Amino acid sequence: MASASKIAIALLCVALVVSLGLNALYMQALGQLSGIVEQLEKENRHLREVVMHLNATLQRMQSSPTVAPSPPEGWKWIYAVAVYVDRSGEPHGIVLKMHGSITPGEGRIFVATTPKIGIELQEPAETAFNVACSLLGINESQYDFHLVVEAPMSVNVVDGPSAGSAITVLAVATLLDAEINHTIVSTGTINPDGTIGKVGGVYYKALASAEAGAKTFTVPRGQSIVVVAIPKTYHPAPWVTITTYTFKEVNLQEYLQEKGYSLKVAEVKNIQDLLAIYGIKLPG
């Protein structure tokens, strides 16, 4: 009996040691997992802030744009690019086709979309038209500017002002009856003095442009270097997969080349720089 008791005690001691060892391994794995989750939350904070900003912009929209039929043949058109957020909160770039026409009128700006897309273009279109007329010495109060935006699908685009530079090129080309190079896609706001302002979502816009077959992508000065999220996958346990993101500054053109895209990225300071890239010459 004494021998059996000793064996039982020994087995209990072994079980206790094994249990303590497994518990220590579990706590170590749990600590590693907690550290990885904390790092993931920290590294993704910027992206969450961007998504929150985009969603807030959507909620601030007071009215939906008019849905328009396809524009008549003969209108000038240009590619623009914007950012939208899908249902899961992920941002994507989308290439838009903008058609313009200028007729005798009273300085009015008419904006419509097809299909329905949540995009605010009234103010950037007004600024673009005024800048175009100023460049050419034309009295804008004697003309009306008609703008129709075509999208490949119905989405909520949230950064309409970033199309301002492209709308200005469209207005200038329409006034001059100049050809527009459709291998170029541009992004950038337009300021009343003709300078081109910075925008967000440059990487997503460049990627969408490259996938659409663009040869040149223009960005505001200083935005050919972008911050991208580099994913890294961890397996703290056989049944657990965690992806974290490291944010890194990269040269946009080189980064896209590494992904197999041949897209020239050019920086522009003002509308004159952008018109030169499109090959549109101003009189005089």
Burial label, 51 (beta-carbon count in 10 A; 0-12, 13-18, 19+): middle
How high is the pLDDT of residue 35?
59
Query: What are the residues whose beta carbons fall under 8 Å from the beta carbon of 42, sequence distance 6 or more?
Result: none
Question: Residue 30 above 70 pLDDT?
Answer: no
* Sequence ranges of the domains in the chain: 2-43, 48-278
pLDDT tier at 54 (50, 70, 90 boundaries)? very low
Query: What are the residues whose beta carbons fall under 8 Å from the beta carbon of 64, sequence distance 6 or more?
Result: 116, 118
Question: Residue 237 above 60 pLDDT?
Answer: yes
Question: Residue 220 above 90 pLDDT?
Answer: yes
Question: Residue 50 above 50 pLDDT?
Answer: no
Of 59-73, 205-219, 251-265, give the lowest mean pLDDT range: 59-73
Of 33, 173, 189, 64, nearest to 124 by C-alpha is: 189
Q: Tens digit of pLDDT for each residue in 171-207?
A: 999 999 999 999 999 999 999 999 999 999 999 999 9
How high is the pLDDT of residue 243?
80
Please give the C-alpha separations between residue 151 and each of 52, 67, 94, 221, 222, in angstroms, as whole numbers.
24, 11, 8, 27, 28
Answer whether 136's CB lies under 8 Å from 175's CB: yes
- Residue 278, both tokens: 């499109």
How high is the pLDDT of residue 170?
98
Q: Kindly indicate whether the domain formed by 48-278 is annotated with CATH number 3.20.20.80.
A: no
- Span 84-111, average pLDDT: 89
Q: Cα–Cα distance between 78 and 127 in angstroms, integer?
A: 17
Of 35-39, 77-81, 272-276, give the lowest mean pLDDT range: 35-39
How high is the pLDDT of residue 196?
98
How high is the pLDDT of residue 64?
37
